[in-house]
């Protein structure tokens, strides 16, 4: 009987750095929906100061060879840390204001450059925002 051999799963392509358990939740949702949560490495700033976040982020980048960092808030400590690291490592790409639609788009873009995958993710993430009301629309 022959066994099906699966190709090795690629390591994380990106780090998701967010407050509390947000990064873990986003990555878990990507995995649940697409099975591609392994394309991300979640990282939290919980109970860490600025220097600690920087050090942890640098260690994770080095360990994974990641070139992309997604952060949750443009004016939050996670994004500030990512921008400080970006100053020393201009080959990185930081995307802030991340949401689930953006990560789903990024995770499912195969065979394209990081820049192309990120452009598609940013477009999808932004266009996913909607206002829904229960009130009838005026004609």
- Looking at residue 56, its pLDDT comes to 97
- Looking at residue 136, its pLDDT comes to 77
What distance in Å separates the CA atoms of residue 15 and residue 40, rounded to the nearest whole number? Answer: 5
* pLDDT tens profile 95-116: 999 999 999 999 999 889 889 9
What distance in Å separates the CA atoms of residue 1 and residue 4, rounded to the nearest whole number? Answer: 10
For the chain, the straight-line distance linking the first and the last C-alpha, in angstroms and rounded, comes to: 66
pLDDT at 6 over 60: no
- Looking at residue 138, its pLDDT comes to 74
Query: pTM for this structure?
Result: 0.88
Question: Which tokens go with 98?
Answer: 């991340």
- Looking at residue 13, its pLDDT comes to 85
> 48, 41, 52, 44: which is closest to 18 by C-alpha?
44
pLDDT at 124 over 70: yes
* pLDDT tens profile 87-100: 999 999 999 999 99
Q: Name which residue leads in pLDDT, 86 or 13.
A: 86
* pLDDT tens profile 40-87: 999 999 999 999 999 999 999 999 999 999 999 999 999 999 999 999
- Looking at residue 116, its pLDDT comes to 94
- Looking at residue 20, its pLDDT comes to 97
> What domains are there in the chain, each with its CATH number?
14-125 (3.40.50.510)
């Amino acid at each position: 009987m022959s066994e099906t051999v699966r190709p090795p799963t690629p390591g994380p392509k990106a780090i998701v750095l967010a407050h509390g358990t947000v990064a873990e939740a986003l990555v878990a949702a990507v995995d649940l929906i697409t099975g591609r949560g392994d394309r991300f490495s979640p990282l939290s700033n919980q109970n860490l100061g600025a220097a600690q976040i920087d050090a942890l982020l640098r260690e994770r980048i080095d360990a994974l060879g990641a070139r992309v960092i997604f952060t949750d808030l443009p004016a939050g400590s996670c994004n500030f840390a990512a921008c400080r690291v970006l100053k020393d490592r201009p080959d990185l790409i930081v995307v802030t204001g991340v949401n689930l639609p953006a990560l789903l788009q990024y995770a499912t873009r195969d065979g394209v450059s990081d820049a192309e995958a990120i452009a598609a993710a940013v477009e999808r993430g932004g266009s996913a925002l909607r206002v829904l009301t229960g009130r009838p629309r005026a004609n």
